[in-house]
Amino acid sequence: MLLVSSMVMAMNARAEDAPGPPQAGRTALVIHGGAGFVPRESLSDDDLREIHATLDQALDAGNAVLADGGAALDAVQAAIRVLEESPRFNAGKGAVFNAVGGHELDASLMEGHTRRAGAVAGVTTVRSPILLARAVMEHSPHVMMAGAGAEAFADTRPELERVDNSWFDTEHRRRALEKAQQTSAGIAGDDAPAYFGTVGAVALDRHGHIAAGTSTGGMTNKRFGRVGDAPVIGAGTWADAGCGVSGTGWGEYYIRNAVAHDICARVAYRGDRLDAAAEEVVNRIVTDAGGDGGAIALDRDGNIAMPFNTGSMFRGWIRPDGSRGTAIHEAE
């Protein structure tokens, strides 16, 4: 009898702790422009103004969709498109160079309440990888397309703009490639990744729906058609009915630990608070495995988490109460 009573009490406690239905009408948005170590002294006043202005522009684009009653998926796409067009971030125009001096871009998008998802990997001539990922989701029976197949699919979608691969070139990314190649050649065994600048967004719309997306140029000096976590559903991007995540970091570790899904699974199945789940996965699971990075996460109550362990993460947010901000370093 005592055992039965204890079981009933435990079940009731879990029921009381379980999240209720989403609160209609509340919207929220969180974005990132990549985690990494960017020393304060390396950024001029002009750099800081431009970075914060671009983050604000991305927030404005996504929030305009949400304020007009639009879908979280559209808000995520709108915010990421702004960041893809900026040479400041490792996505779209600012994509890093691979080992042979070209660009291979990855992206993914997921809608939580439907579990629809689309992703692309290793594309080279599509101006907006996030738009191509959306097209894969909505106009094909597949979730992910890669390389030449993804490019061929893009040929069937007249709304997708195509560019020469050199359109993604930027001088500061070329210098980063040269530095990475000199470092790898000059120090035995030193093949440190340079992946910072990946962009992402997670949104909650007034219907209580969540969507998440991520777009990247991958690692500087990457080889052999390497694909990281950004286009992998569950690793770099995840959304379900109660939670959404976009990651930024050393992709191999995010794939091995299914980081984006793990955060939301802890919220859904164990009843963890969003901030506790994100903190545990990013700042213990990933680091214990040998990786690093950060993530942005959002739940259906509009709670936001933005953990990182790299010294800096470009990020911005608009909470359900309308408060907003942008930040780069830990103390901000």
Asked if 139 and 165 count as a contact pair (C-beta separation under 8 A), the reply is no
- To the query of whether residue 216 is one of the catalytic residues in this protein, the response is no
Residues 6 or more apart in contact with residue 88 via CB below 8 angstroms: 33, 50, 51, 54, 94, 197
Measured distance CA(310)–CA(32) in Å, rounded: 14
Q: Which of 18, 23, 81, 17 is nearest to 321 (CA)?
A: 23
- Phi (first) and psi of residue 52, to 5 degrees: -65, -40
Between CA 80 and CA 77 the distance in angstroms is 5
- What tokens appear for 310 in the block? 């790299």
Q: How far apart are CA 109 and CA 107, in angstroms?
A: 7
Contact by Cβ (8 Å): 226, 250: no
- Catalytic entry in 198, 214, 248, 310: 198
Give the 3-state DSSP-derived string for 32-82, with helices as H, strands as E and coil as C: EEEEECCCHHHCCHHHHHHHHHHHHHHHHHHHHHHHCCCCHHHHHHHHHHH
What's the token pair of residue 226?
A: 């390497």
Whole-number Å distance between alpha carbons of 237 and 117: 10
The set of catalytic residues is: 198
